[in-house]
Structure 1
């Protein structure tokens, strides 16, 4: 039996390397989705994980930290928010 292949269409899927039930602590949207600023998920809407281990969409935490009431604190635990540089979620 011979098969002649006329074309091939690759289908792929991606997701961040975090538990699937995790959502952004600010916008409450899944990390495989997008924040309210972005149209498409992926590199344009990356995740940011703080040293406190709370994760957010990059745009969500930027907006949060720019507000006067945030005072540089994590919205989940109220500890000073600094990005965990050792954490890679790609």
Structure 2
């Protein structure tokens, strides 16, 4: 599946939430007392809350929140892996 296909699942008005989730993940990563394995849960929870506040509390909002959080984490990992491959 291509990146564009995944991005098409997210409503265009929610792309700002993906960016906010990326920032939330960055902040959590910089926080010393937050273990790395919990960051994805924090980002996903933030995305679900933000999307629910934007679209209302529905099953679709829940799924859109999960997608926004997942795309934010995936995008972050994609950038990290590309940078890491350039260092070798």
Query: Scaled by the length of structure 1, what TM-score is found?
Result: 0.29
For CA contacts below 8 A with separation 6 or more, give which structure has more relative contact order: 2
Return the structure number with greater strand share: 1
Query: Scaled by the length of structure 2, what TM-score is found?
Result: 0.29
Q: Greater Rg, structure 1 or structure 2?
A: 1
